[in-house]
Chains A and B, each alone.
Chain A
Amino acid sequence: MNAMPLPVALADVLARGDVWRGDTLASLPESAIPSGHAELDAELPGGGWPRGNLTEILVDRSSVGEMSLLLPALAQLSAAGGWLALVAPPWLPHGPAWAAAGLALERLVIVQAGKNAAWSVEQLLACGGFAGVLAWPDAGISAQALRRLQVAAEGRSVFACLWRSTAAAQMPSPAPLRVMLNPAAEAGLLSLRIIKRRGRPVSRPLDLSIPRPIPYLGRSSRAVAGSSLSLVAARGAAATPVA
């Protein structure tokens, strides 16, 4: 751009936000959103969920704690007055639970986009008015459509998150951060594997402890469940002839 060649020190170039060295994590120009999990923040470039970039979360089986993983970050965005959007969610959001997680419901928008999911996400990202956009695109979303979304998100201070199935891990994607979730071998934990990030690859998955509706006690909880089950079974059996 500048006509006069300026002397540029290598250190200055390396300090730029959009340049990263292969052996370190990139520091993003946009401030990241702390995820609420210190061990995860340490592995994410910028120290949290990125703004202005697509983040893909690949998960096959639902209700393993995948949304609870994001709730601390979403609650933080919502508390700062930001708007959040859920585009084409696969189920109905249950208001009281989202409110209890600290989200302002009047700024949580559900978009039932149908076939226009990709278009809607692009509009929401590009409009600049949203702090967070979570979207469940079609399984067959093309790399070109993803590219458009990444371009729409670039430069905006929006946390853009796409939920996809783990089958998409084999396909290339323009999203700079891709994360795969699985229930961990140890019950009660969530295993998170970063399959792509700006920085050196991560070798081992992280086991994160995600808040669950009740503390998971492993085998000792069986006693509780057993008694209540038998109670219900008895009540159910008693109720049936009456009804």
Chain B
Amino acid sequence: MGDRAAVGAGVCAGQKLSTALGLLPGLAVFERDEKRERQMLENLACWAGRFTPTISLAPPDTLLLEIGGCLRLFGGAEAIIAAALAGCSEQAYSVSWAAAPTPLGAGWLARIGAASVYPEMAGMQSALAKLPCAIPGWPNEVENRLESFGLKRLGELLTIPGAGLRRRVGNRPVDDLLRAWGDLHDPQKSFVFPENFAIDIELPARVEHAEALAFAGQRLFASLAGWLHGRQFLVRCCSLQLTHDEGAPTLLALNFAEPAADEARFLRLLREHLSSLKLKAPVEALRLQADELVDMPSASAQLFEQAAEGEGALACLERLRARLGDGAVQALGEAADHRPECATRSHEVVFDFGLNFSPKGTSFGARLTLGPAVASMVAASGKTPNPPPKIGRNRPLWLLPKPQALPERAGSPQWHGPLKLLSRSERLESGWWDEGEGGAAGDVRRDYFVARNPLGQWAWIFRDAEGWFLHGLFA
């Protein structure tokens, strides 16, 4: 098989390598690798899970999709085919196709590049009748023998008695013929979507720039999206492993803020990660693995277009996290600690179906954890609204990262002028348990005051053994 440039130069199948190199000196020759072809066909079958659940592989190169049951969903065979062809060309596969009532008929017509839909049995049969008798898979002598009989087209085979033909060319061609014509049932072994998703592709050339990996990644994520659809899963995190020719592979973990199955969203996040990735060595192969899966909640499509434009909050946040770093995007939370600097506990924004989709607040999606479990922190459920804590009412909205020492003049602390204390002291004495631990707030003994300076700024200040400190701002 040659690409377009090679075929244009006259290179074709069956030539000797030296002949082909003579025709096109710069020809790049690859050895055929049937294992990889098979792998590719399975990847493509995974991807095709988005169109129909009934897929069968017909190795070495044919994929059969049963689309009769999905016509209504997609709005006609043309729509499905257009979507499938667009998807294939995005992944840079060259495809020849046909749609017909019988699997074998469709396969034969696709092989000659029919590229059309035969909705009726009769139309397909007349198209099949014109095909030459060279059917791949039939023994070579069958074609030779048929030619010696003067039979060149499949249609001519049907005009002679079946029993005689069976005796002369064997059972298989005749049975195939009957299956193709729809006179014999032709059950197909349907493709079983793999239990776990992990596929790898070898890159045709070493890739040195991370951005160039986005294209190869597109195939992987297209397969992932189809597989998720076929198995009715959503993925919460997956990992992309970049294999280098030497050295340890690079592992890129893609964490989604909410379980997702949307290919475009995968790719946006991938690009964000790749743009900040520095490759330490050229990449040879990619491996994509779905680490943590969640059952897809059964949801009906909306009758009217109600979804807001745009990708939504969580998809946006996961892209921000990919660019800004892991700790940069956090949701706020509270911790039961009297020390102000410990009372705020921020955590990753994580979305759980158990929280939002289940009617009773119980965990709805049985979670299937394949890789290392990611601790998911779920914010308190809205079902039991906590009464607003009283303590927060006279607390400042902002805290300084570190208390700022205030000078003291004439007995009163100074912050843009003398601070006037407006409240009685509030004693906070807590934290003996983590005294001396690195990074911990430690044991604090402070008297807090609400204070105001002549400029009208309200501050939360405290006094301890070391003097006055500014700690919070009543913004």
Q: Could you tell me which A residues sit within 8 Å of B by CB distance? A: 61-68, 83, 89-102, 104-114, 116, 119-120, 123-124, 126-130, 155-157, 183-184, 187, 212-214, 216, 221-222, 224-225, 228-229, 231-233, 235-236, 239-240, 243
Within 8 A of A (CB), among B328-386: 328-335, 340, 343-346, 349, 379-380, 382
* CB of B311 closer than 8 Å to a CB of A: yes
Contact among A89, A112, A128 for B310, CB-based, below 8 A: A128
| B324 in contact with A109 (CB, 8 Å) | no
| A100 in contact with B393 (CB, 8 Å) | yes
A-B contact pairs, 24 of them (CB 8 A): A61-B456, A61-B457, A62-B457, A64-B457, A64-B475, A65-B458, A65-B474, A93-B398, A94-B396, A97-B395, A100-B395, A104-B382, A105-B333, A110-B330, A111-B320, A112-B324, A112-B329, A124-B316, A127-B310, A130-B316, A213-B460, A214-B422, A228-B421, A236-B465
With A61-B455, A91-B398 as known contacts, state yes or no: A106 contacts B333, CB within 8 Å: yes
Contact among B310, B312, B388 for A100, CB-based, below 8 A: B388
Chain A residues whose C-beta falls within 8 Å of the C-beta of B329 in the assembled complex:
109-112
Contact among A67, A102, A184 for B397, CB-based, below 8 A: A67
| B421 in contact with A94 (CB, 8 Å) | no
Contact among B315, B397, B421, B422 for A127, CB-based, below 8 A: B315
* CB of B82 closer than 8 Å to a CB of A: no
Q: How many angstroms from the CA of A119 to the CA of B411 in the assembled complex? A: 47
* CB of B209 closer than 8 Å to a CB of A: no
Chain B residues whose C-beta falls within 8 Å of the C-beta of A214 in the assembled complex:
394, 422-423, 450
Q: Which 7 A-B pairs have the closest CB atoms?
A: A183-B456, A128-B310, A129-B313, A106-B379, A100-B392, A96-B392, A127-B316
Q: Considering only CB atoms, which chain A residue lies closest to B391 in the complex? A: A96
Q: Could you tell me which B residues sit within 8 Å of A by CB distance? A: 308-317, 319-320, 323-324, 327-335, 340, 343-346, 349, 379-380, 382, 388-401, 411-412, 416, 420-425, 447, 449-450, 452, 455-460, 463, 465, 472-475
Q: How many angstroms from the CA of A97 to the CA of B472 in the assembled complex? A: 11
Chain A residues whose C-beta falls within 8 Å of the C-beta of B400 in the assembled complex:
91-92
Chain A residues whose C-beta falls within 8 Å of the C-beta of B316 in the assembled complex:
123-124, 126-127, 129-130
Chain B residues whose C-beta falls within 8 Å of the C-beta of A65 in the assembled complex:
458, 474-475
Q: How many angstroms from the CA of A66 to the CA of B331 in the assembled complex? A: 22
Contact among B343, B425, B475 for A66, CB-based, below 8 A: B475
With A105-B333, A156-B310 as known contacts, state yes or no: A62 contacts B393, CB within 8 Å: no
Contact among B399, B447, B458 for A64, CB-based, below 8 A: B458
| A213 in contact with B474 (CB, 8 Å) | yes
Instruction: Name the residue among B331, B389, B400 with the largest chain A CB count within 10 angstroms.
Output: B331
A205 → B minimal CB distance (Å): 14
| B465 in contact with A243 (CB, 8 Å) | yes
A149 → B minimal CB distance (Å): 15
Q: How many angstroms from the CA of A119 to the CA of B317 in the assembled complex? A: 13
Chain B residues whose C-beta falls within 8 Å of the C-beta of A106 in the assembled complex:
331-333, 379-380
Chain A residues whose C-beta falls within 8 Å of the C-beta of B309 in the assembled complex:
128, 155-156
| B422 in contact with A225 (CB, 8 Å) | yes
With A63-B458, A127-B310, A224-B424 as known contacts, state yes or no: A95 contacts B332, CB within 8 Å: yes
Q: Considering only CB atoms, which chain A residue lies closest to B314 in the complex? A: A129
Known pairs A93-B344, A98-B397, A127-B316. 6 more at Cβ < 8 A? A91-B399, A95-B333, A97-B393, A127-B311, A225-B449, A240-B465
Chain B residues whose C-beta falls within 8 Å of the C-beta of A128 in the assembled complex:
308-312
B202 → A minimal CB distance (Å): 35
Contact among A91, A112, A155 for B327, CB-based, below 8 A: A112
| B473 in contact with A130 (CB, 8 Å) | no
Chain A residues whose C-beta falls within 8 Å of the C-beta of B320 in the assembled complex:
111, 113, 120, 123-124
| B422 in contact with A95 (CB, 8 Å) | no
| A91 in contact with B401 (CB, 8 Å) | yes
With A68-B474, A93-B397, A129-B314 as known contacts, state yes or no: A107 contacts B331, CB within 8 Å: yes
| B388 in contact with A99 (CB, 8 Å) | yes
B124 → A minimal CB distance (Å): 46
Chain A residues whose C-beta falls within 8 Å of the C-beta of B412 in the assembled complex:
229
Chain A residues whose C-beta falls within 8 Å of the C-beta of B399 in the assembled complex:
91-94
Chain A residues whose C-beta falls within 8 Å of the C-beta of B416 in the assembled complex:
61
Q: How many angstroms from the CA of A99 to the CA of B336 in the assembled complex? A: 13
With A116-B324, A127-B311, A216-B452 as known contacts, state yes or no: A63 contacts B394, CB within 8 Å: no
| B424 in contact with A228 (CB, 8 Å) | yes
| A126 in contact with B332 (CB, 8 Å) | no
Q: How many angstroms from the CA of A65 to the CA of B330 in the assembled complex? A: 25
Chain A residues whose C-beta falls within 8 Å of the C-beta of B324 in the assembled complex:
111-114, 116, 120
Chain B residues whose C-beta falls within 8 Å of the C-beta of A100 in the assembled complex:
388-393, 395
| A129 in contact with B398 (CB, 8 Å) | no
Chain B residues whose C-beta falls within 8 Å of the C-beta of A225 in the assembled complex:
420-423, 449
| B328 in contact with A113 (CB, 8 Å) | yes
Q: Considering only CB atoms, which chain A residue lies closest to B321 in the complex? A: A111
Q: How many angstroms from the CA of A109 to the CA of B458 in the assembled complex? A: 25
A36 → B minimal CB distance (Å): 16
Contact among B323, B334, B422 for A99, CB-based, below 8 A: B334
| A213 in contact with B458 (CB, 8 Å) | yes
Instruction: Name the residue among A123, A212, A225 with the largest chain B CB count within 10 angstroms.
Output: A225
B407 → A minimal CB distance (Å): 15
B444 → A minimal CB distance (Å): 13
